[in-house]
Amino acid sequence: MELWQHSASDLARMIAARVVAPSEVMAAHLDRIAAVNGAVNAVVSLRDRDVLMAEARAADDAAPTGWLHGLPMAVKDLCAVKGVRTTWGSPLFADHVPAKDDLLAARMRAAGAVFIGKTNTPEWGHGSHSFNPVFGVTRNPYDLSRTAGGSSGGAAAGLAAGMLPVADGSDMMGSLRNPAGFCNVYGFRPSWGLVPGDAEGDTFLATLATEGPMGRTVEDVARLLAVQAGENPEVPFGRPVEDYVAGLDRDLGGVKIAWLGDWGGAYPMEPGILELCETALRQFEEMGAVVETLPPPFPAEKLWQSWVTLRAMLNAGGFRAIHDDPAKRALLKPETLWEIEQGRNLTAAAVHEASVIRSRYYAHMARLFSKVDFIALPVAQVWPFPAEWRWPQAIGGRAMDTYHRWMEVVIPISLIGLPALSVPVGFGPQSLPMGMQLAGPVGADARVLALGQGWHRATDWPSRRPPALDGGAAAG
């Protein structure tokens, strides 16, 4: 087994025991990047190999500062990293090199990570397909003609292809979960507030997006979450941190999972997705869980109304300075312009109504979680689609009226900040991966991860590596 095939947790244990050195781990991953990144295009702004090897050799004999000691990491290109080109996928920042780390990068650096570059993302993170005019498109390691999803598409593809041992991502709509499902890895959206952002811009109203971990094992996800989580006293709404690793191996007998499927037909699905998730749920039952199919607990159109209103409000405010400059506005992608223009036309009454809907839905789901432990939904409504598309225009003959309507199934979780893990559930007829969302009430992050750990121990889908990158045969 080559070093790039090991989990990040195993590599960390091997480094701590001095079985391998950080420089050996770095060399193995840089070699893997050289071998496959040209086809996948997941890692961007890759730093000089000699410089990286020198940093890794310095870590060989240095005292560990944290769990990530000596591990190579590429940070999502929506997060600023000191001294590393950071573009947000935008031509406006194509040559931007930050002078300081964002909080997330600072925490991972303090835990010992060696930053090798960035992972690709859609421009400004808008849309669940990772392409932009700076770096081009990231392709799915399981089928290079298909998308890796987004906006954490570079992170998910880098993990799946063995270029990264563990990765960070971020999620407003479904950006940690959708690409994880498309690339046969794990992506965890924490309870909102558990992983705080920087004290920049609005920090009171902007409660939709969060950063979080991705990995090929749930243990890796839990360990990276422990690095990322923790109060930032400069921003509101922090949450207490638990020992996510110690709580992973729990008895799952009798846990109650509510299967919400396609939300009573509200969310069109391509053939095979629901069936694959239902097969996974039957396996959960064999593991001791109790699965119950429930009708939609809240009107889908109300959730959509609330979502698009609040999202547009935040985008219009956040991009106001760029939009007001005609030269800069001309370099924004159409989807971003649409978001801004929607938000600029909003009334205070519309925003208030959206917030009331969100509030009522939160209360409704709190009552549901008094009866069940978790809810389950597909992680996507379509299989990984052709990489040349901007976004799917229709599902099952139903036209999509926005660039992100095709991923509406993530909104019931995103809108109210539930902790949710995207778990791989296998492959469809075209050998394309798919995932399922497992979510719990706010604050139940450790319990959601424990459910995922039980699933991983029973299935380990990520061990089935991409055949196109591994000599034509998938490893089981």
Whether 302 has a pLDDT exceeding 90, the answer reads: yes
pLDDT for position 470:
78
Question: Exposed e or buried b for every residue in 111-148, given b needs 16+ CB within 10 A?
Answer: bbbbbbbbbbbbbbbbbbbbbbebbebbbbbbbeebbb
pLDDT for position 377:
98
Residue 214: partners with Cβ closer than 8 Å, 6 or more residues away: 152, 155, 156, 159, 166, 167, 168, 169, 176, 180, 185, 186, 187, 188, 221, 224
State the Rg of the chain over Cα: 21
Structure tokens given for 270: 């391509």
Give the pLDDT confidence of 168-193 residue by residue, as tens digits.
999 999 999 999 999 999 999 999 99
Whether 149 has a pLDDT exceeding 90, the answer reads: yes
- Region 192-220 average pLDDT: 97
pLDDT for position 469:
86
- Region 20-43 average pLDDT: 98
Structure tokens given for 31: 């070699």
Examine the residue annotation and report whether 23 is marked as an active-site residue of this protein: no
- Region 266-280 average pLDDT: 98
Examine the residue annotation and report whether 128 is marked as an active-site residue of this protein: no
Cis peptide before 152 (omega within 30 of 0): no
Q: Amino acid identity of 318?
A: G
pLDDT for position 429:
86
Whether 473 has a pLDDT exceeding 60, the answer reads: no
- Region 268-293 average pLDDT: 98
- Residue 112's alpha-carbon distances to 15, 60, 357, 414, 458, in angstroms, are 12, 12, 43, 31, 31
pLDDT for position 197:
97
Active-site choice (23, 175, 191, 422): 175
- Bridge partners (DSSP) of residue 44 are 118
Whether 437 has a pLDDT exceeding 90, the answer reads: yes
pLDDT for position 185:
98
Examine the residue annotation and report whether 151 is marked as an active-site residue of this protein: yes
- Region 17-33 average pLDDT: 98
Q: If 0-12 CB within 10 Å is exposed, 13-18 middle and 19+ buried, where does residue 17 land?
A: exposed
Structure tokens given for 405: 């309507």
pLDDT for position 472:
53
Active-site choice (7, 9, 45, 76): 76
pLDDT for position 475:
33
The percentage of the chain sitting over the pLDDT mark of 90, rounded to a whole number, equals 97
Mean pLDDT of the chain: 97
- What domains does the chain contain, in order, with CATH numbers? 3-469 (3.90.1300.10)
For residue 340, what pLDDT band results from cuts at 50, 70 and 90?
very high
Whether 381 has a pLDDT exceeding 50, the answer reads: yes
Residue 237: partners with Cβ closer than 8 Å, 6 or more residues away: 192, 193, 207
Active-site choice (7, 9, 151, 422): 151
Residue 353: partners with Cβ closer than 8 Å, 6 or more residues away: 305, 309
Q: Amino acid identity of 421?
A: L
Residue 422's CB is within 10 A of a number of other CB atoms, namely 34
Backbone phi and psi for residue 84, each to the nearest 5 degrees, phi listed first? -120, 130
pLDDT for position 471:
64
Q: What is the 3-state secondary structure (H, E, C) of the chain?
A: CCHHHCCHHHHHHHHHCCCCCHHHHHHHHHHHHHHHHHHHCCEECCCCHHHHHHHHHHHHCCCCCCCCCCCEEEEECCCCECCECCCCCCHHHCCCCCCCCCHHHHHHHHCCCEEEEEECCCHHHCCCCCEECCCEECEECCEEEEECCCCCHHHHHHHHCCCCCEEEEEECCCCCCHHHHHHCCEEEECCCCCCCCCCCCCCCCCCCCEEEEEECCHHHHHHHHHHHCCCCCCCCCCCCCCCCCCCCCCCCCCCEEEECCCCCCCCCCCCCHHHHHHHHHHHHHHCCCEEEECCCCCCHHHHHHHHHHHHHHHHHHHCHHHHCCHHHHCCCCHHHHHHHHHHHCCCHHHHHHHHHHHHHHHHHHHHHCCCCCEEEEECCCCCCCECCCCCCCEECCEECCCCCHHHHHHHHHHCCCCCEEEEEEEECCCCCEEEEEEECCCCCHHHHHHHHHHHHHHHCHHHCCCHHHCCCCCCC
Pairing of strands 256-259, 374-378: parallel
pTM, two decimal places: 0.97
Residue 184: partners with Cβ closer than 8 Å, 6 or more residues away: 142, 160, 424, 427, 433, 435, 461, 462, 464
- Using alpha carbons only, give the angle 453, 458, 461 rounded to the nearest 5 degrees: 85
- Residue 363's alpha-carbon distances to 238, 294, 359, 441, in angstroms, are 20, 18, 6, 11
Structure tokens given for 84: 């590393």
